[in-house]
Amino acid sequence: MYRSEFYVFDQNKPVPVCIRNYTKNDFKELIKIQSECFPPPFPSELWWNEEQLTNHVTLFPEGALCIEVNGELAGSLTGLCAQFDPQHLDHTWEEITDNGYIGNHNPNGNTLYIVDISVRPKYRKLGLGKLMMQAMYHVVIHKGLVRLLGGGRMPGYHKVAETMSPEEYLDAVVKGETRDPVISFLLRCGRVPIGLVKDYLDDEESHNYAALMEWKNPFIK
């Protein structure tokens, strides 16, 4: 099981944080965080429910991470294991995460697949999301998996969709010509785009597109 305690800096002030596995006692707060992180037009049916969270902590507890700041829950990162073939990129969030229930978690899979990341708005830009991602890289290495993978929403895309294709938009984000709230964050976490997926998630802002973003285990060829 994972537990790591250290400090982050809020401007110049060290603040104690803890990254650990979440448990049943955290469910209420985790659902509240989801409602703060995915406000309308994002469909509220896609927020966590207790049954999904129960599955996360039962089927793959190592992939259920959260971060506390000064003892208050500030965010979570959830994954499952899947067998992934880089020759076949197309999938939907629903398929690969069993609609967030992770009933398809494959303990023998080669890939740690990210189901969700969310950090409470008041705790953003402190490095917490990146630190949880790094904690999940530790899990990938610890379990000897080939990669961490996930579909990154592109919520900035709707602003330019009339003039740019999703490929051009992703390219512009990677070149640093424009910034996207999720894709730029994932790039800064060390994730690399390996393709675009259409109809990934019911997500108006991204026009239902997602960029598949990979981090490869550096110890595995």
Ligand X SMILES: CC(C)(COP(=O)(O)OP(=O)(O)OC[C@H]1O[C@@H](n2cnc3c(N)ncnc32)[C@H](O)[C@@H]1OP(=O)(O)O)[C@@H](O)C(=O)NCCC(=O)NCCS
| Site of interaction with ligand X (CB under 6 A) | 37, 117-119, 124-130, 152-153, 179, 181-182, 184-185, 188
Name the minimum Å distance from CB 108 to ligand X.
26
Q: What is the 3-state secondary structure (H, E, C) of 127-145?
A: CHHHHHHHHHHHHHHHCCC
Which of 43, 144 has the CB closer to ligand X? 43
| CA–CA separation, 135 and 17 (whole Å) | 13
Helix-helix angle 27-37:50-59, to 10 degrees: 120
Name the minimum Å distance from CB 221 to ligand X.
28
Which long-range contacts (C-beta less than 8 Å, at least 24 apart) are formed by 96-104? 100/46, 100/48, 100/52, 101/51, 101/52, 101/55, 102/52, 102/55, 102/56, 102/59, 102/60, 103/55, 103/59, 104/80
Name the minimum Å distance from CB 144 to ligand X.
25
Name the minimum Å distance from CB 95 to ligand X.
16
Which of 35, 165 has the CB closer to ligand X? 35
Which of 110, 184 has the CB closer to ligand X? 184
Nearest-CB residue to ligand X?
A: 129
Compute, in degrees rounded to 10, the torsion defined by CA atoms 169, 170, 171, 177: 60
Which of 16, 221 has the CB closer to ligand X? 16
DSSP letters spanning 168-193? HHHHHHHHTSS--TTHHHHHHTT-EE
Which of 20, 124 has the CB closer to ligand X? 124
Name the minimum Å distance from CB 210 to ligand X.
7
Q: Please provide the distance, in angstroms rounded to a whole number, between the alpha carbons at the two ends of the chain.
A: 26
Which of 81, 187 has the CB closer to ligand X? 187
Name the minimum Å distance from CB 201 to ligand X.
8
Pairing of strands 192-197, 210-216: antiparallel
